[in-house]
Structure 1
Amino acid sequence: MPEITYLEHPTETDALMDKLCPPVRNWFKEKFPDFTRPQKLAIPTIMDGGHLLLCSPTGSGKTLTAFLTIIDQLVRKALDGKLEKRIHCVYISPIKALANDIQKNLIGPLSEISERFLPDRAQEIRVGLRTGDTPQSERQKMLRNPPHILITTPESLAIAITSMKFQPIISDVEYMIIDELHSLVPSKRGVHLALTLAYLDTLLERPVQRIGISATMEPLETVAEYLVASDDRESRGDGQKVHIAKVSGSRELDLDILLPHPKFSDLPVLKILDENINVIADLITAHTTTLVFANTRKMTETLVQRLRRPEFGLGELVAGHHGSMDKKIRLNVEQQLKNGHLRAVVTSSSLEMGIDIGAVDMVIQLGSPGDIATALQRIGRAGHHVGGIPRARFLPSSVDDLIELAALQAAIQSGDMDRLDFPENSLDVVAQFLIGLVIINEIDIDEAYEIVSSAWNYRNFEYDDFIEVLDMLEEERRVWIDWEDNTYGKRGYSRMIYYTNIGTIAPDNSYLVFNAEGSILGQLSGSFVSNLRGGDVILLGGSTYRVTNIQGTRVNVSSVTGYRPTVPSWSGEARSRSRELSSSLLSLIKHCMISLRREQDPRLVLREAYGLSNSVANAIARHLEEHTIDSFQVPEPNRILIEQVIGTGHPAYLITTCRGRAFNTALGYFMAGTAESSGVSVIELSFDENGLLIRTAQEVDPAQLYDAFRSNNHIEVIERYIINTQIFAKRFREVAGRSMIIPKRVGSEEISPQQFQQKAEALLTRHRTMEGSLLMREAKNEV
Structure 2
Amino acid sequence: MKHQKIIVEAENWFKQHGWKPFPFQKETWNAWLNGKHGLLNAPTGSGKTFALWVPIALSLKHYPGKTRSENTGVKAIWITPLRALSLEIAQATREFAQGLELDIEVGIRTGDTSQKERAAQRRKMPDLLITTPESLHLLLSSKNYEKQFRNCRAIVADEWHELLGSKRGVQTELALSRLKTLCKDLRIWGISATIGNLEQAREVLLGPGSTALENSVMIKAELRKKIKVSSIIPEAMEKFPWRGHLGIHLLDEVIPILKASRSTLLFTNTRAQCEIWFQAILSKYPEFAGEIAMHHGSINKETRLWVEQAIRNDSLKAVVCTSSLDLGVDFAPVETIIQIGGPKGVARFLQRAGRSGHQPGKESKIWFLPTHAIELIEASALKKAVKEKAVEDRTPYLLCFDVLIQYLTTLAVSDGFYPEEIYREIRSTFCYQGITEEEWQWVLNFITMGSQSLREYDEYRKVEVMEDGLFKVNNRGVAMRHRLSIGTIVSDAMLTVKYMKGGYLGQIEEWFISKLQPGDVFTFAGRNLELFRIKQMQVLVKRSKKKTAKVPSWMGGRMSFSSQMSDLLRSELYLANDPGSQLSPELKALAPVFERQQRESIVPGPGEFLIETFKTREGYHAIFYPFEGRFVHEAMASLLAYRISLLDPISFSIAFNDYGFELLSDQVINIEQVIDNDLFSPSYLHSDLEKSLNATEMARRKFRDIGVISGLVFQGYPDKQLKSKHLQSSSQLFFNVFRDFEQDNLLYLQAFRETFEHSLEEGRLAQALERIRTQEVIWKNCEKPTPFSFPIITDRLREKLSSEKLSDRIRKMQIQFEK
> Under TM normalisation by the shorter chain, which class is it?
0.7 to 0.9
Deviations 1:598-632 (A, max 9, x none): xx6xxx6213xxxx3xxx33332222222222333
Give distance in 2, aligned partners of 1:582 and 1:213.
Answer: 27
Matched, 1:758 2:745: no
Deviation of 1:220 (Å): 1.5
| Matched residue, 2:409 | 435
| Matched residue, 2:686 | 715
1:606 is paired with a residue whose SS is coil
Q: Calculate the aligned-residue CA RMSD, in Å.
A: 3.3
| Matched residue, 1:738 | 709
| Matched residue, 1:193 | 172
Give distance in 2, aligned partners of 1:225 and 1:244.
Answer: 11
4+ long deviations beyond 6 Å:
78-83, 483-487
| Comparing 756-765 and 313-322, the one that deviates more | 756-765
| Comparing 42-51 and 271-280, the one that deviates more | 271-280
2:121 aligned residue (136, 142, 161): 142
Query: Could you say if the C-alpha distance between residues 495 and 508 of structure 1 is closer, same or farther in structure 2, counting changes exceeding 3 Å?
Result: farther
| Matched residue, 2:40 | 54
1:313 is paired with a residue whose SS is helix
2:342 aligned residue (351, 364, 368): 368
| Matched residue, 2:596 | 626
1:406 is paired with a residue whose SS is helix
| Matched residue, 1:416 | 390
Letter of the 2:51 partner, please give it: T
Deviation of 1:578 (Å): 0.8
Summarize the alignment of residues 300-319 of structure 1 with structure 2, pairs less than 5 Å apart. 300-309=274-283, 311-319=285-293
Query: Could you say if the C-alpha distance between residues 495 and 639 of structure 1 is closer, same or farther in structure 2, counting changes exceeding 3 Å?
Result: farther
Query: Could you say if the C-alpha distance between residues 280 and 762 of structure 1 is closer, same or farther in structure 2, counting changes exceeding 3 Å?
Result: farther
1:431 and 1:739 in contact (8 A); partners too? yes
Deviation of 1:112 (Å): 2.2
Give distance in 1, aligned partners of 2:735 and 2:154.
Answer: 44
Give distance in 2, aligned partners of 1:468 and 1:74.
Answer: 44
Deviations 1:79-129 (A, max 9, x none): 999992331110000100001110111111212222xxxxxxxx6211000
Letter of the 2:576 partner, please give it: C
Deviations 1:379-398 (A, max 9, x none): 00111111111111110001
Matched, 1:605 2:582: yes
Summarize the alignment of residues 488-567 of structure 1 with structure 2, pairs less than 5 Å apart. 488-490=471-473, 493-509=477-493, 527=508
The percent of aligned pairs where both chains have the same amino acid is 26
Deviation of 1:573 (Å): 4.9
2:87 is paired with a residue whose SS is helix
1:709 is paired with a residue whose SS is coil
Query: Could you say if the C-alpha distance between residues 124 and 687 of structure 1 is closer, same or farther in structure 2, counting changes exceeding 3 Å?
Result: same
Letter of the 1:479 partner, please give it: K
Give distance in 1, aligned partners of 2:620 and 2:464.
Answer: 56
| Matched residue, 1:85 | 72
2:689 and 2:695 in contact (8 A); partners too? no
1:243 is paired with a residue whose SS is strand
Matched, 1:662 2:636: no
Letter of the 2:583 partner, please give it: L
Matched, 1:703 2:675: yes
Deviations 1:727-754 (A, max 9, x none): 5454332333333322322464301123
Letter of the 2:730 partner, please give it: K
Deviations 1:658-698 (A, max 9, x none): 11122223323432443456674644333321122234687
1:657 is paired with a residue whose SS is coil
Give distance in 1, aligned partners of 2:65 and 2:703.
Answer: 56
Give distance in 1, aligned partners of 2:8 and 2:651.
Answer: 74
Give distance in 2, aligned partners of 1:225 and 1:303.
Answer: 42
1:706 is paired with a residue whose SS is coil
2:658 aligned residue (682, 689, 692): 689
Matched, 1:214 2:192: yes
Letter of the 2:163 partner, please give it: L
- How many residues get paired? 689
Matched, 1:97 2:76: no
| Matched residue, 1:592 | 576
Give distance in 1, aligned partners of 2:564 and 2:664.
Answer: 30
1:653 and 1:694 in contact (8 A); partners too? yes
| Matched residue, 1:111 | 98
2:45 and 2:330 in contact (8 A); partners too? no
1:255 and 1:391 in contact (8 A); partners too? yes
Give distance in 1, aligned partners of 2:661 and 2:241.
Answer: 23
Give distance in 1, aligned partners of 2:484 and 2:238.
Answer: 51
Matched, 1:749 2:720: yes
Give distance in 2, aligned partners of 1:439 and 1:242.
Answer: 34
1:288 and 1:361 in contact (8 A); partners too? yes
Deviations 1:484-522 (A, max 9, x none): 9876544764423332222222233479xxxxxxxxxxx
Give distance in 2, aligned partners of 1:491 and 1:620.
Answer: 69
Deviation of 1:650 (Å): 6.5
Letter of the 2:693 partner, please give it: I
1:635 and 1:658 in contact (8 A); partners too? no
For structure 2, the 5+ residue unaligned runs are 455-459, 496-505, 511-536, 538-552, 760-819
Letter of the 1:634 partner, please give it: P
Deviations 1:161-212 (A, max 9, x none): 121244312112001111111111012211221122212323x131410111
Letter of the 1:200 partner, please give it: L
Letter of the 2:149 partner, please give it: I
Deviations 1:202-260 (A, max 9, x none): 3x1314101111111121111111121189647xxxx8321001234742112101124
| Matched residue, 2:22 | 36
1:496 and 1:747 in contact (8 A); partners too? no
Deviation of 1:274 (Å): 2.5
Letter of the 2:750 partner, please give it: E
2:337 is paired with a residue whose SS is strand
Give distance in 1, aligned partners of 2:266 and 2:729.
Answer: 39
Query: Could you say if the C-alpha distance between residues 708 and 408 of structure 1 is closer, same or farther in structure 2, counting changes exceeding 3 Å?
Result: closer
2:177 and 2:425 in contact (8 A); partners too? yes
Query: Could you say if the C-alpha distance between residues 763 and 436 of structure 1 is closer, same or farther in structure 2, counting changes exceeding 3 Å?
Result: same
1:458 is paired with a residue whose SS is coil
1:340 aligned residue (290, 297, 314): 314
Give distance in 1, aligned partners of 2:307 and 2:654.
Answer: 41
2:576 and 2:587 in contact (8 A); partners too? no
1:686 is paired with a residue whose SS is strand
Letter of the 2:127 partner, please give it: H
| Comparing 692-701 and 187-196, the one that deviates more | 692-701
2:560 and 2:631 in contact (8 A); partners too? yes
Deviation of 1:345 (Å): 1.3
Query: Could you say if the C-alpha distance between residues 22 and 449 of structure 1 is closer, same or farther in structure 2, counting changes exceeding 3 Å?
Result: closer
| Matched residue, 1:285 | 259
Letter of the 1:206 partner, please give it: K
Give distance in 2, aligned partners of 1:450 and 1:635.
Answer: 53
Scaled by the length of structure 1, the TM-score of the pair is: 0.81
2:71 is paired with a residue whose SS is coil
Summarize the alignment of residues 211-360 of structure 1 with structure 2, pairs less than 5 Å apart. 211-229=189-207, 233=211, 240-248=214-222, 250-263=224-237, 265=239, 269-270=243-244, 273-309=247-283, 311-353=285-327, 355-360=329-334
1:92 and 1:179 in contact (8 A); partners too? yes
